[in-house]
Amino acid sequence: MRKNAAQLAVAALEKLGVTHTFGIPGVHNTEFYDALHASEQITPILVTHEGGAAFMADGMSRVRQMHEGIGVLAIVPAAGFTHAASGIGEAYLDGVPMLVISGGVRTDTEFDFVLHGVDQLELAKGITKGAFRVNHQNDVTDVLYQAYQLATEGKPGPVLVEIPVNLQLFDATVAQPQQPPQPTTPAIDEQAIQRAV
């Protein structure tokens, strides 16, 4: 089938049980917002500042029980990410799962200087459990599922997924998307419970 990365990302979020995203559309994620608009399951909530969107995504994860969805922040790269950093960092410190989906600069150009050309994966290191960059449309679903798993396992926390704008713009022939990972329930440590009581 032929799909672009934005369509594949929204389909993966639907399979993960996502009902809302929070953020601001811009040059690097317009196609993602177009795909959200076409979704019958996900409602994008638009805000006036990425910081507020990050705290809203945090709140969504806090009120949803584990495995009933996750808060999703949908932002542009660079300034969008830095504006959201306080809310992402708070989720990291409090152990709140969150998917941070950011557009990314074009990866199919030889130009060194591009709008919002910041290495946000490096910026994310101190305030996320992990950061991924999608390199091909075929990778979108797997990367989002890996990010979700990382965000929800062990001590939960935010995970960044960067989807370059050229992958959102252009269709590619992709394999049928796989099913999301099944949530794992942590094992109960009876000895730890006894020590705590």
Number of compact structural domains in the chain? 1
The model carries a pTM of: 0.86
- pLDDT reported for residue 196: 75
Instruction: Name the residue range of residue 144's domain.
Output: 2-196
Question: Under DSSP, is residue 170 helix (H, G, I), strand (E, B) or coil?
Answer: coil
Other Cβ atoms closer than 10 A to 105: 21
**CATH assignment at residue 182:** 3.40.50.970
DSSP code for 185: P
Question: Under DSSP, is residue 163 helix (H, G, I), strand (E, B) or coil?
Answer: strand
Pairing of strands 43-46, 20-23: parallel
DSSP states of 24-88: ---TTTHHHHHHHHH-SS-EEEE-S-HHHHHHHHHHHHHHSPTTS--EEEEE-STHHHHHHHHHH
Question: In DSSP terms, which residues pair with 98 in a beta bridge?
Answer: 71, 158
Burial annotation 126-145 (CB, 10 A radius, 16+ → b, else e): ebbbbbbbbeebbbbbebbb
**What does the alpha-carbon distance between residue 67 and residue 125 come to, in Å, rounded to a whole number?**
25
Q: Provide the residue-wise pLDDT of the chain in tens; the chain has 197 residues.
A: 778 889 999 999 999 999 999 999 998 899 999 999 999 999 999 999 999 999 999 999 999 865 678 999 999 998 999 999 999 999 999 999 999 999 988 667 676 666 556 789 898 999 999 999 999 888 999 999 999 999 999 999 999 999 998 888 877 666 665 767 665 666 777 787 778 77
